[in-house]
A and B are shown apart, each in its own frame.
Chain A
Amino acid sequence: MTDPKLRLHGVVKRFGTKLVLDHVDLDVSRGEVISLIGSSGSGKSTLLRCINLLEPTDDGVIELDGVDVAEPSLDADPIRRRIGMVFQSFNLFPHMTVLRNVTLGPRKVLGQSSREADTLARDLLGRIGLADKADEYPDRLSGGQQQRVAIVRALAMQPEIMLLDEITSALDPELVGEVLDLVRDLRTQGMTMLIATHEMEFAREISDRVCFLHAGRILEQGPPERLFTAPTEERTRAFLQRVLDLG
């Protein structure tokens, strides 16, 4: 852990007077997969949005390869393109075909030619078995297919880190598997990932480390085997009991 890929130090985020992230510290190594768990409103989405600079932070440092990207005067666009994000509600662009969804970033941001971007996108879509959907509009796809396209759209930018925000929460149970399989593939390929999730089983299986968020703080973190079986914090225990009982 000499040079973390991503390092958060004392990150603070307020919405009005409400403190949503309360001095968050977190080091993420290259290739590491970290799950963020915690009850609704604990700040998981906000943390991911802050890392991707979709939300400005109020205080603290966010270092990407040792460079502080939370510096308010910095142009955020070139940084965002290095970080991929996938959302709970897919957020595909409904007025564009699947192919155009995937090629938009590479063409407009990376300056790839249409042909170059198309070839790459079709290749990526082929790998997830959606080559035949390239020219469909997103509303013709199932939720699971849409979410996989959203992941591919982020991947087409060749990001250094992927942020996944509850990407299976809006899916029918039988479609969850195909999306999680794709995340497993990403792990195998060595992608650095931060995953906010309610799927405890999945978090346990895929993570190198699990962080439990409570009221905007990382209350406890550790390898999944330990955190899920022997949490040290009372709050973590109560949370795990609650969600595992439900599931």
Chain B
Amino acid sequence: MNPSGISRRQQFEKHQRRRSTVIATVSTVGAIALLVLLVPMIPGWDRVRASFLDGNTFRETFPKLPGRFWYDIQIFLICTPCILALGLLIAFARNVRSPALYPLRLFATLYTDVMRGVPMILWITIIGFGVPGLIQNRTWGKAVVWAGVALVVAYSAYVAEVFRAGIESVHESQRAAARSLGLSSRQTMVHIVLPQAVRRVVPALMNDMVSLQKDVALVSIVGPIEVLRQAGIAKAKFYNFTPYIGAAILFLCVSIPLTRLTDHLLARERRRMQGTAVR
């Protein structure tokens, strides 16, 4: 160490970091300047700007959107716990070994295959429009409720597969160690396998949640005035696509932080696994 308290290595790295920051800043500013200069030169840019990025329309329509977007968020917040719970149950069902429960296992397998094999929008149409016709009740006969149910049943199939992969990724030797202490198979699942499995699949689950957060907009096809539909109404009124851009911005406000967080968790998990490679 030299008198300043910084080692040679640290000094070198500090210099390198400063250099990298400068280069990154200069090249980013350059790229943006180039975009600002070049994009308006694209033929027809004026027309694109007028129909997608009209300031007046934006100012008129945007204030109504966040309130409607809250509706989407609420659907998301209600569906998420249901999806996680159902997904976990189905993952368990796919793992049962007892012959008496074989039908359950068969059903769970079929469920995940069928649910994942049909486009989301089709499930929402089938369940969201179909089931309310069978029910007279005010609350339970609402199309939105059933569109939400469609999201839950379809997404729980994806989530079940994520959980199952996590459960299977816990090495057999962990089970052996737990059983050798006298823990039952159920105790082994609860105390040893599940905690490790869940920790490993958090990033994958977050990925699914990012998709769900966007797919919530599909519920608009059964009628509720959530953000996408509100933007559609505004578009029809102003003959302009700018409201959709407003809606897109709202979705990005949620999905970008979520995606960043997922990446961060993934990177952390990867570091953790590398640090403890021998096990």
Which residues of B169-198 have CB atoms within 8 Å of chain A's CB atoms?
173-174, 176-184, 187, 191-192, 195-196
Closest to B272 in A: A139
Interface residue? A44 (CB, 8 A)? no
- A92–B181 CA distance with the chains assembled, in angstroms: 12
Interface residue? B275 (CB, 8 A)? yes
- A113–B173 CA distance with the chains assembled, in angstroms: 27
B180, A52: Cβ atoms closer than 8 Å: yes
A77, B279: Cβ atoms closer than 8 Å: no
- A104–B192 CA distance with the chains assembled, in angstroms: 10
A154, B174: Cβ atoms closer than 8 Å: no
Give the contacting residue for A91; candidates B176, B182, B195, B199; CB below 8 A: B176
A91, B174: Cβ atoms closer than 8 Å: yes
Interface residue? B276 (CB, 8 A)? yes
Given A108-B187, A108-B191, A139-B276, A157-B177 contact (CB < 8 Å):
no
A89, B173: Cβ atoms closer than 8 Å: yes
Q: CB-CB < 8 A to B179: which residues of A?
A: 54, 77, 80
B181, A154: Cβ atoms closer than 8 Å: yes
Given A87-B177, A139-B276, A93-B192 contact (CB < 8 Å):
yes
The contact string, 1 if C-beta is below 8 Å from chain B, for chain A 54-97, is 10000000000000000000000110111111010111111100
Closest to B275 in A: A139
- A125–B260 CA distance with the chains assembled, in angstroms: 42
A142 to chain B, nearest CB (A): 11
- A49–B173 CA distance with the chains assembled, in angstroms: 12
A90, B279: Cβ atoms closer than 8 Å: yes
Interface residue? A238 (CB, 8 A)? no
What is the interface size of chain B, counting residues whose CB is below 8 A from a CB of the partner?
Answer: 21
A109, B181: Cβ atoms closer than 8 Å: yes
Query: Number of contact residues on A: which range applies?
Result: 20 to 34
Interface residue? B278 (CB, 8 A)? yes
B279, A94: Cβ atoms closer than 8 Å: yes
Q: CB-CB < 8 A to B178: which residues of A?
A: 93, 104
Q: CB-CB < 8 A to B182: which residues of A?
A: 77-78, 80-82, 105, 109, 157
Can you list 22 A-B pairs, Cβ within 8 angstroms, ordered by A? A52-B180, A77-B179, A80-B182, A81-B181, A81-B182, A82-B182, A85-B180, A89-B278, A91-B173, A91-B176, A91-B177, A94-B276, A94-B279, A95-B196, A104-B178, A105-B183, A108-B191, A139-B276, A143-B278, A150-B177, A154-B181, A170-B278
Residues of A bordering B, CB below 8 Å: 49, 52, 54, 77-78, 80-85, 87, 89-95, 104-105, 108-109, 139, 143, 150, 153-154, 157, 170
- The 7 closest A-B CB pairs, nearest first, are A81-B182, A105-B181, A91-B177, A139-B276, A85-B180, A109-B182, A80-B182
If A87-B176, A89-B278, A139-B276 are given as contacts, then 8 extra A-B residue pairs at C-beta distance below 8 Å, sorted by A number, are A54-B180, A80-B182, A84-B180, A91-B279, A94-B196, A104-B183, A143-B278, A157-B181
